[in-house]
């Protein structure tokens, strides 16, 4: 069995059609069919139900598909890591969601650069799901995100849980209350969530915070990004649930109130390729913990 057999099988399994799979692979259909036949003969089992239209996987085929994709992901991971180790120049490419820039990420990077000035650090604003794709493709080395998504080729380390707060227009009646707000007090408001896409996203976390408590906001407005959400709040178009670090976004036309629910939190996740144990990443993770400890911020500590 060779790697090409796995690639060919995955293409056919996903397309459910030999012709489309052959076009996707840029090969002729007869050689593709022979390769799949050879794979089935070597395994001694049928991977596709004979005569089915569209093609359907057998039970053995479904099992093989799940594990074949995992092998291909690991091969891609190995290639990326080998290329990284072979580079003379030391680099660290960071993916981040916008809200982390209002928290401790800038301080973390400043400290990392001061301690490891030989490492070239670059930044890429990406949603959490985009970060996971970029990690697998080798475009970034680490991601700072908020969405808890699973991928067998990505390792995710929970750094801490950040509390959620409410952003309100200046002079809003709820902003006049000198106490934490309850989520049920927001259901009659126009709730502004972000990002609109791709999903799942921070917007789904916010909506889940309501639904988990059997609450259903009457009006929900989805916007493209965090800055637009805060701008809409400032314009009096609604309220928004945001991470606590957003209080660092100093505006005179937006007020913030805490939420009276200790479980209303958003995780900050450190994502890397599964097999990546590079010195740069170990140093970055240690710098993160050093900053948290210096600030007295509760966090989870996990080694690479």
Q: What size, in residues, is the chain? A: 304
Q: Is the pLDDT of residue 43 over 60?
A: yes
Q: Is the pLDDT of residue 240 over 60?
A: yes
Q: Residue 109: which residues within 8 A CB-CB, separation 6 or more?
A: 94, 121
Helix or strand holding residue 270 (H, E): strand 265-273
Q: What is the pLDDT of residues 173-218, one digit of tens each?
A: 999 998 999 999 999 999 999 998 888 899 999 999 999 999 999 9
* pLDDT grade for 83, boundaries at 50, 70 and 90: low
Average pLDDT over residues 268-289: 92
Query: Of 141, 136, 241, 235, whose CA–CA distance to 191 is shortest?
Result: 241
Query: Of 152, 161, 159, 103, whose CA–CA distance to 132 is shortest?
Result: 152
| pLDDT mean across residues, the chain | 91
Domains annotated on the chain, with CATH: 3-76 (1.10.10.10), 85-159+267-295 (3.40.190.10), 162-265 (3.40.190.10)
Beta carbons of 95 and 273 less than 8 angstroms apart: no
Q: Residue 233: which residues within 8 A CB-CB, separation 6 or more?
A: 167, 168, 169, 192, 239, 240, 254
Q: Is the pLDDT of residue 253 over 90?
A: yes
Q: Is the pLDDT of residue 70 over 90?
A: no
Beta carbons of 55 and 14 less than 8 angstroms apart: no
In this structure, the strands spanning 142-145 and 91-96 are parallel
The β-bridge partners of 144 are 96, 270
Average pLDDT over residues 94-116: 94
Cis-peptide, bond into residue 77, ω within 30° of zero: no
* pLDDT grade for 10, boundaries at 50, 70 and 90: very high
Q: Give percent above pLDDT 90 in the chain.
A: 71
Round the CA-based radius of gyration of the chain to a whole number and report it. 24
* pLDDT grade for 89, boundaries at 50, 70 and 90: low
By the 10 Å C-beta count (0-12 exposed, 13-18 middle, 19+ buried), 296 is classed as exposed
Q: What is the pLDDT of residue 87?
A: 61
Q: Concatenate the DSSP letters of all residues of 150-191 into one string.
A: --TTEEEEEEEEEEEEEEEETT-GGGG-SSPBPGGGGTTSEE
Average pLDDT over residues 259-265: 94
Q: What is the pLDDT of residue 88?
A: 47
Q: Give percent above pLDDT 70 in the chain.
A: 97
């Amino acid at each position: 069995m060779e790697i090409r057999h796995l690639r060919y099988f995955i293409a056919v399994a996903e397309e459910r059609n030999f012709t489309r799979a052959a076009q996707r692979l840029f090969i002729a259909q007869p050689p593709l069919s022979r390769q799949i036949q050879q794979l089935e003969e070597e395994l001694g089992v049928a991977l596709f139900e004979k005569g089915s239209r569209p093609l359907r996987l057998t039970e053995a085929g479904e099992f093989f598909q799940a594990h074949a994709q995992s092998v291909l992901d690991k091969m891609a991971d190995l290639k990326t890591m080998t290329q990284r180790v072979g580079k003379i120049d030391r680099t660290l490419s960071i993916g981040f969601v916008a809200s982390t820039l209002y928290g401790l990420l800038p301080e973390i990077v400043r400290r990392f650069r001061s301690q490891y000035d030989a490492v070239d650090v670059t930044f890429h604003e990406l949603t959490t799901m985009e970060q996971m794709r970029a990690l697998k493709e080798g475009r970034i080395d680490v991601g700072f995100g908020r969405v808890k998504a699973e991928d067998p080729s990505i390792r995710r380390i929970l750094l801490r849980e950040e509390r959620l707060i409410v952003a309100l227009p200046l002079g809003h009646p709820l902003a006049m209350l000198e106490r934490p707000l309850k989520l049920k007090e927001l259901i009659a408001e126009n709730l502004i969530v972000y990002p609109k896409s791709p999903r799942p996203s921070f917007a789904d976390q916010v909506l889940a915070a309501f639904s988990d408590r059997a609450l259903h906001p009457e009006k929900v407005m989805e916007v493209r990004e965090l800055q637009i959400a805060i701008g809409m709040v400032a314009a009096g178009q609604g309220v928004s649930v945001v991470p606590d670090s957003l209080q660092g976004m100093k505006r005179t036309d937006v007020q913030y109130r805490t939420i009276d629910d200790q479980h209303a939190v958003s995780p900050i996740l450190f994502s890397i390729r599964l097999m990546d144990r590079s010195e740069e990443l170990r140093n970055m993770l240690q710098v993160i913990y050093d900053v948290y400890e210096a600030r007295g911020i509760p966090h989870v500590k996990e080694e690479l």
